[in-house]
Amino acid sequence: MFEPTPQVDLSSGKYLKLWQGPQHPGITGNMALELTTMGDEIVDCKTHVGYLHRGFEKLMERRTFIQNFPIVCRIAVPEPTFNEYLYAAVVEELTGIESPERAEWIRTLNLELMRLASYLMWLGGIGAAFGQGTVYQWTVTHRDYILDLFEEMTGARVYHMYIVPGGVRGRLPEGFEERCNDVLNRVEKLLFDVEKVLFNNFVFKKRTKGLGVIAPEMVDQYGITGPNQRAAGFVRDLRRDAPYLVYDQLEFDVITATESDAYARSWVRYQEMHQGIRMLRQCLERTPREGPFQARMPNVLHWEVPAGETYVKAECTRGEYGYYMVTDGSEYVRRVHVRGPSYTHAIALMEKLAVGTNIADTAGLMVSLHTYPPEIER
């Protein structure tokens, strides 16, 4: 299973050691690749992380349960909402608090909006990695439209701090549905443009097809989840297999592919964006306008969570995102472990797939795996 590092003799003059990063075009955040190349072909790849390590899991052990709520969003910068939701869900499970229906709808709306924003950023990334800078500019602009929506809903563009244990922090603003629908229409229109410009682009096709193929048997060996897994033909999606929030009430398709290369993965994500828009439209229509959006909470200043442990997971853009929490009945958590898909996608998987590719493709390959370093380092 574990591939030993090939024995290369650097003094032979045949090889070159090459460092890429930690400012790396293949990733949102910082991470370095230590490549050993022969010509422009990579014969060995080692990843180096830690540039964004802030010790969140440790910090959380030393803060009260409510104080952790504004911290967790930072564990995945482009996609903070999944952390907010999972932290809330794990605490709710251990305390027996049930967030009301209205909050569950608003949370779903948030998560799907976040997915769309995160995918837009990724779409720009995959375009840029293959020389399509224009796509990047379009998608980042459209992501900003979504951030505008987040700003009016949550009070912040990136670190929303909106999904809180017990529910959400406020009702949807007046007229939100209309503005959100408008943004969805604009994004949808853009997506069709991107399809023409990127997915139907022979350069893009040529460079991504056959790049970084994940064989089906690797999926479980490497713990691969999300679109990376679905592009390898697996019909697995936590929103369908272990529905949380209101996903069991939404209509959507689980997108898969079989080629399992960079193109297939991108195409899966692209279609998931359309599915996301579809789900968002349902959320906008069906989110209750009345009723409580927060469960009755104890005084959070000295909130003691009963002793226990659990694991709660959700399907984020990159795959299985999960919070494992152990409590001991005190006002502080004993242990939180955040399971982010990038942990294996960016390290074990990347180190394996990079071998045999060439230098120019590393960034594109990495983007095609869609990874975020902070969730590796926590």
Q: Which of residues 286-325 bind other proteins (CB under 8 A)?
A: 292-294, 296-302, 308-311, 313, 320, 322, 324
Per CB under 8 A, contacts with other proteins among 325-344 are 326, 334-335, 337, 339, 343-344
Coil, strand or helix: which one is 187? helix
Residue closer to other proteins by CB (options 14, 58) is 58
Strand 163-164 relative to strand 167-168, pairing: antiparallel
Sign of the Cα torsion 263, 265, 268, 272 reads negative
Per CB under 8 A, contacts with other proteins among 1-20 are 1-2, 4-5
Taking the complex as a whole, how short is the minimal distance between the CB of residue 344 and other proteins, in angstroms? Answer: 4
348 binds other proteins (CB under 8 A): yes
Q: Per-residue string for binding with other proteins, 46-85, x by CB under 8 A? A: x--xx--x-x-xxx-xxxx-xxxxxx--------------
CA dihedral 154, 156, 161, 166 (to 10 degrees): -10
158 binds other proteins (CB under 8 A): no
Residues 129, 261: Cα–Cα separation, whole Å? 15
* 175 exposure class (CB count in 10 Å sphere: 0-12, 13-18, 19+): exposed
How many residues are listed for the chain in this entry?
A: 378
Taking the complex as a whole, how short is the minimal distance between the CB of residue 8 and other proteins, in angstroms? Answer: 16
Rg (CA), the chain: 21
98 binds other proteins (CB under 8 A): no
Single out the segment in contact with other proteins by CB under 8 A; choices: 25-33, 80-88, 107-115, 153-161: 153-161
Per CB under 8 A, contacts with other proteins among 30-49 are 46, 49
Q: Which of 39, 96, 173, 329 binds other proteins (CB under 8 A)?
A: 173
Residue closer to other proteins by CB (options 66, 268) is 66
Q: Which of 130, 159, 244, 267 binds other proteins (CB under 8 A)?
A: 159
As given in the structure block, the two tokens for residue 133 are 């800078």
Single out the segment in contact with other proteins by CB under 8 A; choices: 14-22, 236-244, 263-271, 353-361: 236-244
Taking the complex as a whole, how short is the minimal distance between the CB of residue 26 and other proteins, in angstroms? Answer: 18
As given in the structure block, the two tokens for residue 102 are 């209205």
As given in the structure block, the two tokens for residue 141 are 């602009």
Largest separation between any pair of C-alpha atoms in the chain: 73
Residue closer to other proteins by CB (options 103, 284) is 103
Q: Which of 221, 254, 288, 355 binds other proteins (CB under 8 A)?
A: 221
Q: Locate tokens 């990376």: which residue? A: 228
Q: Which of 222, 244, 263, 372 binds other proteins (CB under 8 A)?
A: 222
Buried (b) or exposed (e) across 81-90, using 16+ Cβ within 10 A? Answer: bbbbbbbbbb
Find, among 310, 317, 158, 140, the residue nearest to 225 by Cα.
317
- Sorted by sequence, the CB contacts under 8 Å of residue 312 that are 6+ apart come out as 86, 89, 90, 93, 244, 322, 323
Give the phi and the psi of residue 342 in degrees, each rounded to 5.
-65, -20
Taking the complex as a whole, how short is the minimal distance between the CB of residue 333 and other proteins, in angstroms? Answer: 11
| Residue 38: Cβ within 10 Å count | 13
Per CB under 8 A, contacts with other proteins among 120-139 are 134, 138
197 binds other proteins (CB under 8 A): yes
Taking the complex as a whole, how short is the minimal distance between the CB of residue 88 and other proteins, in angstroms? Answer: 13
Taking the complex as a whole, how short is the minimal distance between the CB of residue 57 and other proteins, in angstroms? Answer: 7
Per CB under 8 A, contacts with other proteins among 238-257 are 241-242
Which letter does DSSP use for residue 30 in this model? Answer: B
178 binds other proteins (CB under 8 A): no
